[in-house]
Amino acid sequence: MKYTAKPVVVVVGNGMVGHRFCTRLKAAGGFRIILFGEEPRPAYDRVHLSEYFNGKSAADLSLPMTGWFEDEEIALHLGDPIREIDRERQLVHSSKGLSIRYDYLILATGSSAFVPDLPGVEKEGVFVYRTIEDLEKIKAYAPRAMSGAVMGGGLLGLEAAKALLDLGIPQTHVIEFASRLMPRQIDSAGSHTLESSLKQLGLQLHLNKSTLAIEGRDRIESLQFADDSRLAVDMLVISAGIRPRDELARLAGLTVGTRGGILVNERLQTSDRHIYAIGECALVHGNIYGLVAPGYEMADVVVNNLTGGNKTFPGFDMSTKLKLIGQDVASFGEPFAAEPDCRTIVFEDRHKGVYKRINISPDGKYLLGGVLVGDASAYNILLQTVNNRLVLPPNPEDLILGSRGGAVEGAGVMSLPDEALICSCESVTKAAICSAVMEKEATTIDAMKKCTRAGTGCGGCIPLVKDLISSTLSANGQYVRNVVCEHFNHSRQELFDLVKLHNVRTYDEALTQWGKGDGCEVCKPVLASILASCWNETIVRQATIQDSNDRYLANIQKGGSYSVVPRIPGGEITPEKLIVLGKVAKKYNLYTKITGGQRIDLFGAHVGDLPAIWEELIEAGFESGHAYGKALRTVKSCVGSTWCRFGLHDSVSFAIGIEERYRGIRAPHKLKGGVSGCIRECAEAQSKDFGIIATEKGWNLYVCGNGGSKPQHAQLLAVDIDKETCIKYLDRFLMFYIRTADPLSRTATWLNKMDGGMSYLKNVVINDSLGMAAQWEQEMQALVDSYTCEWKEVVNNPELRKRFVHFVNAPRKKDPGLEFAELRGQVKAQEW
C-alpha cells in the first residue's frame, strides 16, 4: 500500500485456475488486478477441449463472457507472457516489454504436455494435446492421415484417441508403456473390461510397448519400439503426462520440486511470501493435481488468505468420472485399497463390458472407494457415500448390483446430509441446492447454474443436481413439469388433457390457444401424435405438422428415397401376396429385405412413385404397415400349436387379432408386440412393449420390454388369463401409456420413471385404482372402430396424390441427384 490505495495483484497465466482466481478476488473487492496470459485468447474450458472437434467453437468454450474484463476493471494482457520476475524490486517483466510492480504475485502457469526426449519428436505430424492451437493443427493435418497413434493410454491419451476417431482417421492406435490402461485411476481387471470395449469401437491397443524412436524423412512414417517391432503411422499425438510450468519460478530462484512443480505450503505460498502458486503448476503436499477442481479450491484458499482469512488447502480427493469414447469410467475414494485393509466386492459382466469394484471397511460399515467401468451411473451416490461416511446398508453389494426386490434403504439423494458437497468445482452443498429450489425457484439446471453456480465447472455433478431438484420438488408436494419446447409451456400430458377437454382438432387451434410463435419440429409432431391418439383422424389431413416420415407415409432413407412397408400381421403371408411383393419390387427397382419384425421392407422408392406402388399393393389386399409412424409396428409370433409340437395355443391367430386391433393407433413412441405359443419363447415376446406367452391355463401378459439400444426385459403383469381379459388389460395399459408418457419415450422408459413402478402399474391396470378403466376401454374401442388405412385414402384422392412429387413445378421429374449403387444383385443407397 505504498503507491496506490489498493494493493496490486499480478496474475501470471490466464488458464482455468487463473481465471477462477480473478473472478473470486474481484468479487471480494479491494484489489487492483493485472493479468498476463501467454495464449492469444482469454481463458477457456480446457476440460471440455475435445468438444472443439464436435462442433463447439473457441467462443463456445470461452470462460469469461465477452466484455467481462472491461466490466470488471481487470487489466488484461493477452499473448504477452511474463519472462522474468525481479523479486527484490517486486517487478514482473513481460515479453512485450511491460514492467509492473506487484504487492502479490500469483503464478497460475499450469502445465504443458510432457514430451519424452525421443529421436524424431520434431518431425512433421507429431502433436501434443493441450491448447486450442494444438487442436487446430491436428484438425488441419488429419485429412491426409490414414492411420494415427496416441502415445499414452491414460485419461488424456484415450480422450485424444477418441478425437482421432472422430476426425475419421481409419486406423487409430494407442500405445501404452504400462501393462494396463489408465494406470492411475483403475485396476487391471477394470482395464481388461475397458480394453475389450475400446477394441470393439475400433481402437487398436498396444500395451507394454516402449517407444524408442519416431522414424520418417521429414514427416513421421513409423514408430520403432524397444521389442524391435515397428508400427507404420501417418501422425502421432503425444500424451505421456504433464510437466508443471515452473520455468519462471526456477529462474527467479524459488524452490521447485526435484521432479518439477513450484513448491508451496498449505496456504499456497512459495518460498517467497509475496508469491503464490496455484493450479497445475503448484506442488502441494508432494502432489501435482492434474484436475480442475483442486485448482479451483487452491484459488479460493489464496483469495481467502489475501482478504484476511486463514484457510488452508487440505489436499484433495482425486475421484473422477468421465466418458471415454462412450464408455463410463470412474474411480473414487481409495480405488486400490486391498485386503486385509478392506473387503472388496467385484461385479463383472464381460458380455456387457461392465466392471465394478467397491472397497468396504473390514467391519462392513463404510465405503472406502472403488472403480466403475462401463456403467458409472452409481458414481455420484457412491462418492457421496464415501465422502460423508454414510453407514452402508446391510447388503452393500446392492450398491453396485442395483437392488433386487424392495428399494435400498437410504440410498436416495434425499438421505444425504445437508452439508454433503454436491458440486466440488464450485463448493455447493446439498443444502444450498435445496434452498435455491425452494426459495429462489431454481427448478431447472440453467436456473440452478445462475443461482448457485453448481454444475458450471466440470459438469459431472449435473445428474445429481437434477435428481436433487426433482426430489426436493416432489418432497414438497410440487409437481415436476416437463414442458414440450419453447412454444408450449405445458407437458405432453397436460396438452393431451387440454386437447381432449376443449375438443381441439388442429395444430393451429392448439397453437393459438396455448402456444406462441410458429411452433417447431419438436412440438408439431408431439401435437400431431396427441391429435391422432385423441381423434384418430388420418394424419394426411395435417401433413405439415407430421415428422417427414409421417408426412410422406414412408421412411426417408439415405439419399432421399423412401421405403415401403406393407403390414403382414403376425408375419403370416400367402404365396400369392409374396409374388405381388416380388413383382412390385421388380417393377420399381426396389431393394427387398426381411425385417426383424417378420415383414418385408421395400427400399429405394422415389417419392413420386409412392402412390402408384401403394395402389398396386392395396389392389392385392395389403395395407399400410405404419413403419413410418410412432404407432404399432408388428406383433411378432411363433408358429404355435398349429404346427409346433410344443405349442400350447394358436399364437399366430392371437397375434394377428391383436395386430389388427391396434394397427394405426398413434402413441408417444413406436410399439411392438409378440406372442409365443409356449415358454420356449421363440417370438421373443419378452423383449417387446407387450408380450404374451401361452401357458397350460391361458396366457401370461408381460409389458414394458424393449430391444433397441437399451434392452430391458418385459415384466409380468398378469398370469393365466384368457384372451378377452388379455385384450382388456392391453386396452387399459396402452391408453394409460398414450395419455401419460413423455414424447418419444418407449414403454420401458415410461415404466422406469413411474413412481411405484410395476406394482403401481398393476394396480392401475388390473385393480382399476384410478377409476379410469371403463373410459379407457371405451376410448380404445372408438379408436379401433375409426381405423382406416392412410395409404388407401391417399391413393383414392387425387388432391392428396399431388403432394407426392419432388418438384412442384415439374411433377413428372425425379430428383436427378438420387442415385443408387449395386450390392449383391440389388440396389443400395449411395454413401453420404
Ligand X SMILES: Cc1cc2nc3c(=O)[nH]c(=O)nc-3n(C[C@H](O)[C@H](O)[C@H](O)COP(=O)(O)OP(=O)(O)OC[C@H]3O[C@@H](n4cnc5c(N)ncnc54)[C@H](O)[C@@H]3O)c2cc1C
The contact set with ligand X (CB under 6 A) reads 12-18, 36-39, 46-47, 49-50, 81-82, 108-110, 129-130, 156, 159, 245, 248, 279-280, 290-293, 295, 322, 458
308 versus 817: smaller Cβ distance to other proteins = 817
> CB of residue 49 vs other proteins: minimum separation in angstroms?
17
Please count the other Cβ atoms lying within 10 Å of the Cβ belonging to residue 89.
8
Please report where in the chains the cell 493441450 appears, as a residue: 130
42 versus 369: smaller Cβ distance to ligand X = 42
Distances (CA, A) of 805 to 241, 543, 607: 59, 14, 6
Q: At what angle do helices 462-475 and 430-440 cross, to 10 degrees?
A: 50
Q: How far apart are CA 225 and CA 599, in angstroms?
A: 54
> CB of residue 258 vs ligand X: minimum separation in angstroms?
21
151 versus 714: smaller Cβ distance to ligand X = 151
Read off the DSSP letter of residue 786: T
* 238 beta partners: 128, 151
Distances (CA, A) of 43 to 28, 31, 329: 20, 20, 27
In one-letter notation, the amino acid at residue 226 is: A
Residues 120, 677, 698, 705: which binds ligand SF4 (CB under 6 A)? Answer: 677
Please count the other Cβ atoms lying within 10 Å of the Cβ belonging to residue 710.
10
Question: Where does this chain touch ligand SF4 (CB under 6 A) — which range of 196-204, 273-281, 673-681, 783-791?
Answer: 673-681
> CB of residue 638 vs ligand SF4: minimum separation in angstroms?
3
Contacts with ligand SF4 by CB under 6 A: the residue count is 13
273 versus 680: smaller Cβ distance to ligand SF4 = 680
567, burial (CB in 10 Å: exposed 0-12, middle 13-18, buried 19+): buried
> CB of residue 569 vs ligand SF4: minimum separation in angstroms?
17
> CB of residue 819 vs other proteins: minimum separation in angstroms?
11
> CB of residue 540 vs other proteins: minimum separation in angstroms?
11
In one-letter notation, the amino acid at residue 395 is: N
129 binds, among ligand SF4, ligand X, other proteins, none (CB under 5 to 8 A by kind): ligand X
Residues 144, 481, 680, 710: which binds ligand SF4 (CB under 6 A)? Answer: 680
Please report where in the chains the cell 513409423 appears, as a residue: 222
663 binds, among ligand X, other proteins, ligand SF4, none (CB under 5 to 8 A by kind): none
Residue 167 touches other proteins, criterion: CB under 8 A: no
> CB of residue 623 vs ligand SF4: minimum separation in angstroms?
23
> CB of residue 280 vs ligand X: minimum separation in angstroms?
4
76 binds, among ligand SF4, ligand X, other proteins, none (CB under 5 to 8 A by kind): none
Residue 646 touches ligand SF4, criterion: CB under 6 A: yes
**Footprint on residues 39-98 left by other proteins (CB under 8 A):** 55-56, 60
> CB of residue 137 vs ligand X: minimum separation in angstroms?
14
41 versus 343: smaller Cβ distance to ligand X = 41
Residues 62, 171, 548, 592: which binds other proteins (CB under 8 A)? Answer: 548
Question: Where does this chain touch ligand SF4 (CB under 6 A) — which range of 163-171, 281-289, 543-551, 641-649?
Answer: 641-649
208 versus 544: smaller Cβ distance to other proteins = 544
Residue 207 touches other proteins, criterion: CB under 8 A: no
Q: What is the DSSP string of 580-639?
A: HHHHHHHHTT-EEEE-TTSSEEEEEE-GGGHHHHHHHHHHTT--B--TTSSBEEEEEE--
315 versus 608: smaller Cβ distance to ligand X = 315
Alpha-carbon Rg for the chain in angstroms = 32
Q: What is the largest CA-CA distance in the chain?
A: 101
Residue 815 touches other proteins, criterion: CB under 8 A: yes
Q: How far apart are CA 367 and CA 380, in angstroms?
A: 13
Residues 121, 483, 543, 827: which binds other proteins (CB under 8 A)? Answer: 543
| 685 and 676 Cβ atoms separated by less than 8 Å | yes
Phi first, then psi: give them for residue 502, nearest 5 degrees.
-95, 5
677 binds, among ligand X, ligand SF4, other proteins, none (CB under 5 to 8 A by kind): ligand SF4
Question: Where does this chain touch ligand SF4 (CB under 6 A) — which range of 85-93, 377-385, 606-614, 675-683?
Answer: 675-683
Distances (CA, A) of 143 to 147, 166, 235, 529, 780: 10, 12, 11, 44, 56
| 458 and 292 Cβ atoms separated by less than 8 Å | yes
> CB of residue 112 vs ligand X: minimum separation in angstroms?
8
**Footprint on residues 750-809 left by other proteins (CB under 8 A):** 803, 806-809
**How many residues are listed for the chain in this entry?**
832
Question: Where does this chain touch ligand SF4 (CB under 6 A) — which range of 17-25, 111-119, 128-136, 680-688?
Answer: 680-688
Q: What is the DSSP string of 324-344?
A: ETTEEEEEEESTT--TTSSEE
Q: Please give the residue whose beta carbon sits closest to ligand SF4 in the complex.
A: 677
Strand residues in 50-113 grouped as ranges (E): 75-77, 82-86, 91-94, 99-101, 104-107, 111-113
Residue 608 touches other proteins, criterion: CB under 8 A: no
Q: Please give the residue whose beta carbon sits closest to ligand X in the complex.
A: 15
Binding track, positions 479-508, relative to other proteins; x by CB under 8 A: -------xx--------------------x
Q: How far apart are CA 331 and CA 349, in angstroms?
A: 18
What are the residues whose beta carbons fall under 8 Å from the beta carbon of 770, sequence distance 6 or more?
764
Please report where in the chains the cell 484459488 appears, as a residue: 299
* 600 beta partners: 594
60 versus 122: smaller Cβ distance to other proteins = 60
Read off the DSSP letter of residue 756: T
Residue 682 touches ligand SF4, criterion: CB under 6 A: yes
Question: Where does this chain touch other proteins (CB under 8 A) — which range of 247-255, 286-294, 691-699, 812-820?
Answer: 812-820
> CB of residue 637 vs ligand SF4: minimum separation in angstroms?
8
Distances (CA, A) of 763 to 394, 414, 722, 731, 733: 30, 27, 19, 15, 11
Q: What is the DSSP string of 491-514?
A: -HHHHHHHHHHTT--SHHHHHHHH
> CB of residue 782 vs ligand X: minimum separation in angstroms?
54
> CB of residue 650 vs ligand SF4: minimum separation in angstroms?
10
325 versus 682: smaller Cβ distance to ligand SF4 = 682
> CB of residue 304 vs ligand SF4: minimum separation in angstroms?
53
> CB of residue 702 vs ligand SF4: minimum separation in angstroms?
14
Please count the other Cβ atoms lying within 10 Å of the Cβ belonging to residue 27.
9
Q: How far apart are CA 647 and CA 683, in angstroms?
A: 12
Residues 242, 252, 416, 638: which binds ligand SF4 (CB under 6 A)? Answer: 638
517 binds, among other proteins, ligand SF4, ligand X, none (CB under 5 to 8 A by kind): other proteins
> CB of residue 777 vs ligand X: minimum separation in angstroms?
53
Buried b or exposed e, range 368-403, using 16+ CB within 10 angstroms: bbbbbbbbbebbbbbbbbbbbebebeeebbbbbeee
Give the sheet arrangement for strand 91-94, strand by strand. 82-86, 91-94, 99-101
Residue 678 touches ligand SF4, criterion: CB under 6 A: yes
Residue 602 touches ligand SF4, criterion: CB under 6 A: no
Binding interface with ligand SF4 (CB under 6 A): 638-640, 644, 646-647, 651, 676-678, 680-682
- The footprint of other proteins (CB under 8 A) covers 55-56, 60, 486-487, 508, 511, 517-521, 523-525, 543-545, 547-549, 551-552, 556, 559-560, 803, 806-810, 813, 815, 817-818, 832
